[in-house]
Amino acid sequence: MEKLKKMFNGRILAILTITLVVLLFGFYRFNQRFAFNWDQSDDANKVAEMISLKKPLLIGPRVANESGFFVGPFHYYFLAPFFVLFNGDPIAEGIAAIVVALITSISGYLLASKMFNKRLGLFTGLIFASMTSIQSWNVMYTSFFGILGYFLCWKIINSKTKYFPLLMFVYGMAATSHLVPASMGLSILVALIISAKKPTFKQIFLGIGLFLISFVPNLIFDLRHDFLNLKKIIAFVSIDNHVGDHPWWLFLRSFWRGVNLSTFAFDINKNQLLIILGNALVLSILIFEIIKIKNNKLKLLTVVWMMTPLLALGFYKGNIPEYYYGLSLSILPILLASFIKRLNWKIGLILVIIFVSIRFYRIWQDRPMINLSDKKNVVKYIAQQKEDPIFNVSYDLPVGMETGYDYLFNFYKHQPVNTNQGHLYTIVLLPSGEDEKVVYKSNRIGVIRR
């Protein structure tokens, strides 16, 4: 009983420590760091429409490119309670991202503890916690699905076939959240092949059913819209529309950047020597830890897990964002923690603290050009000024920076009127060349009354 109590108390202390790190990384300078850009404003509009009309959505965000296909609507349903709780305020998305980071970090701790031991689990959880991001979009679930999928594949190769239905459900949810986790499929296949015990017919049937459940909303949408989304998927897969002037090794550069952002997060445009040294160290640790895995089946699973996105994206001829390696790199905290655990306990803890401190220094430096708070300030000024009850709004902003304002005007319940009756206000990036006409400023943006 005493041993059980000690173990329980140790687990609670570890979870509390991880939670505090997540909250620190999430809420430190939250208002200055949370940006409300295209992805966030598009999500906000979709969720607000779903809530106000009480009409369920059948498709989620568009992926791949501007003419790509739509994934499942899980992301919108996850965000909906946060928007209800915060009365439609877009900060709901930032809070949701922190909650996802917390779930991912605690899951990393618990699952790595079960796979290996409590010390490695704690280090894994702390590394995940230091990777907390407040960027809300449908890619933010990748690390959670990755760590859970990897754990369940490990269960399968250890002949725990009762986990197969749950693994397939996780894979379905992951595959309908974004393209990024799709590579999990090959790892699942390899786990099944190398497992000494195979799932029963009942487990396979249930697993396939649970996998397909995630696709039901998309299927209903396609049945109502002449299989529009399916046609887009087929076009994306079959038509070579990715050709560009990019070098063949671009996918390796994207992976290199992904490793940097997933670990030390040195500024890509500065400290090139630090980036090279840091990435070389991380990749060396990764290779070393894979070689040192004693269980050959787990070693094979790990290699397949890491290499599948690299091999698949090697055939892609277009520009590849770093986050496309999110599933591959989702197990990187485990491998880093495994290396640190090999050292003396105190030295290992010091290294984890140094790692967390470097990550914190990154968010301390992180200052988006325009954040949500700035946008809310200028919109609130225009919406609540008394001189022109009827107004119109134009934007003199770089491409991509003009997003989110429509939602905020609706949030403050005073929309611009696109007629000659509305006095024109222009939102500009400062310095604008018309500073003498600026009637209101918030950080890098200002308002001009024409």
User: What is the DSSP annotation of 294-362?
Assistant: S-HHHHHHHHHHHHHHHHHHTT--S---GGGGTTGGGGHHHHHHHHHHTS-HHHHHHHHHHHHHHHHHH
Check pLDDT > 70 for residue 242.
no
Report the mean per-residue pLDDT for the chain: 89
Q: Tell me what pLDDT residue 244 has.
A: 55
Beta bridge partners of 395: 427
Beta bridge partners of 438: 448
- Which ranges in 28-141 belong to alpha helices (H)? 30-33, 38-53, 74-85, 91-115, 118-130
- Rounded percentage of the chain residues whose pLDDT exceeds 70: 92
- Look up residue 349 and give its two tokens: 């803890």
The confidence band for 248, taking pLDDT boundaries of 50, 70 and 90, is low
Q: Tell me what pLDDT residue 261 has.
A: 81
Mean pLDDT, residues 85-112 taken together:
97
User: For residues 82 and 96, is the Cβ–Cβ distance under 8 A?
Assistant: yes
User: For residues 313 and 324, is the Cβ–Cβ distance under 8 A?
Assistant: yes
pTM of the complete model beyond 0.85: yes
Check pLDDT > 90 for residue 231.
no
Distance, in Å, from the CA atom of 91 to the CA atom of 105, rounded to the nearest integer, reads 21
Distance, in Å, from the CA atom of 119 to the CA atom of 340, rounded to the nearest integer, reads 10
The confidence band for 356, taking pLDDT boundaries of 50, 70 and 90, is very high
pLDDT digit string, tens, across residues 180-199: 888 899 999 999 999 999 99
User: For residues 405 and 44, is the Cβ–Cβ distance under 8 A?
Assistant: no
Q: Tell me what pLDDT residue 76 has.
A: 97
Check pLDDT > 90 for residue 365.
no
The confidence band for 323, taking pLDDT boundaries of 50, 70 and 90, is confident
Cα first-last separation, the chain? 75
pLDDT digit string, tens, across residues 124-134: 999 999 999 99
Beta bridge partners of 70: 62
Q: How many CB atoms lie within 10 A of CB 284?
A: 11
User: For residues 59 and 221, is the Cβ–Cβ distance under 8 A?
Assistant: yes
